[in-house]
Amino acid sequence: MAENGCKHFQVYVKENSLDTYRIIDAYFSACINRDAREKKALNCCCFECGSFGLQIFACLYCIYFGCRGSHITSHLRAKKHSIALELSHGTLYCNSCRDFIYDSRCREIASVNRKLEAKDVQKSLSWTPWIPTPKETNLMLANPRRRHVKANETLGLRGLINLGSTCFMNCIVQALIHTPLLSDYFLSERHECNAKSSLKCLVCEVSRLFQEFYSGLRTPLSLHRLLHLIWNHAKHLAGYEQQDAHEFFIATLDVLHRHCIKAKAETENANKSSSSAQHTNCPTQCNCIIDQIFTGMLQSDVVCQSCKGVSTTIDPFWDISLDLGETAHGGATPKSLIDCLERYTRAEHLGSSAKIKCSTCKSYQESTKQFSLRTLPSVASFHLKRFEHSSLIDKKISTFISFPVEFDMTPFMSDKNNAYGDFRYSLYAVVNHVGTIDAGHYTAYVRHHKDTWVKCDDHIITTATLKQVLDSEGYLLFYHKNILEYE
């Protein structure tokens, strides 16, 4: 990496100067005035499909807009144009290098344009771009070669040794390792540990696991250190009995979340006690990597049937647990993930036995309750409640529930009519349970590359087809936003 971009961009600047970049960034990326915003709203769509998606690229050689993927790259290849500008964040892309590039001159121009935009709409700067430190610049200058991932690449795949009924842990670790933003965070070594010993820090152990997975070695890994740390911080999971994969997933996120909060507090020399955070089983609004990836906001609307007054509460969530059995009102059992979500977000009459005191009526009234998704997480995880526990019998629900490779979450949002953005999600991991409620085994399917799936059965890793994935029973389903898709 150089201060003035790649060699292809240097040739472009020599032939065309930076004037085109300055105009396109001002009018279609930063939008420095009202005229620019009107021009972008009217003209900034993909010339191929007409999409006004979040990631539109502008060719810097000619008048052409194309959305991320084949539409912009096909144009650049056909016209032998190398450089395009990604308009959402104003980043340069070189099609010859197949990578985003950095140029200090363009960054100065972009900085001026964004200050003009902020002044025009009377707001503060919403974000600041990544600018490499001298250390990072020297590191990239010393390592100019970039590794391109091939279709049959096995880097990032490793089996996990079963330590004695620990298949539940192995599956969750495989899903987390293949979570896009989480792998970016740990592989870039963003975690800074302040613990007296990194051997006692769960985040350090997870970071080490990511390094191990991507070390190039193929021998199976042992997770005994991770298991021991989880036992120390989640006592209810201690022991070699078979545990529930969903319970382990939530406990792992909770412990990681608490460790990140504690590390941040120590970094900022905060004197606040963390005792209140050490017993929480739900996320709080913070900026740690766990919340950035997994936390969404669930809206609950309770409507009084007398005065129609609405009481709204908003709570954070890490995953959504979906019932598979019949409802109390005798409704049909769901057949697909979409059915489950529709039932989850459907208004429910609470009945006369569950009256709620209305703040307007000042008395207890019958009401309806409805869930909806206020904000969506980057990674949406769904728990299909296959294990049913009652006073009479415990049983497993083995009903087949179909789930899509990709789907749109807009219909389940609180303000679906005014929702702006791309709310499509892609499947990247599935955890399955085979057997009975008393004796069973967990396996996982994870997407290794865009069109490559593998089955993880403890230390055995085998290739899998998409049909095998979609035909599986499904216990935990992991989806990430389409905008995180790697080409």
Task: Tell me which residues are annotated as active site.
Answer: 167, 441
Q: Which two tokens stand for residue 437?
A: 């409620």
- Residue 232 CA to residue 99 CA, distance in Å, equals 43
CB 119 within 8 A of CB 31: no
- Residue 447 CA to residue 465 CA, distance in Å, equals 10
- Residue 21 CA to residue 110 CA, distance in Å, equals 9
Residue that is written with structure tokens 């340069």 in the block: 92
Buried-exposed string 341-365: b where 16+ CB fall within 10 A, e elsewhere: bebbbeeeebeeeeeeebeeeeeeb
Antiparallel, parallel or unpaired: β 367-375 and 348-349: antiparallel
Q: Which two tokens stand for residue 197?
A: 């010993």
Element (H, E) at 40: helix 34-43
Bridge partners of 313, per DSSP, are 300
Minimal CA–CA distance to 99: which of 1, 219, 230, 205? Answer: 1
Residues 6 or more apart in contact with residue 338 via CB below 8 angstroms: 404, 407
- Residue 210 CA to residue 293 CA, distance in Å, equals 17
Minimal CA–CA distance to 395: which of 432, 431, 435? Answer: 435
Minimal CA–CA distance to 476: which of 433, 426, 436? Answer: 433
- Residue 317 CA to residue 336 CA, distance in Å, equals 22
Q: Which amino acid is at 133?
A: T
Phi and psi at 147, nearest 5°, equal -90, 120
192 three-class SS = coil
CB 456 within 8 A of CB 159: yes
Residue that is written with structure tokens 């771009």 in the block: 129
Residue 342, CA atoms < 13 Å, CB-side half-sphere:
10
CB 387 within 8 A of CB 396: yes
How many CB atoms neighbour CB 480 within 10 A?
Answer: 24
H helix runs in 309-448, sequence order = 337-344
CB 459 within 8 A of CB 408: no
Minimal CA–CA distance to 33: which of 139, 115, 107? Answer: 115
403 three-class SS = coil
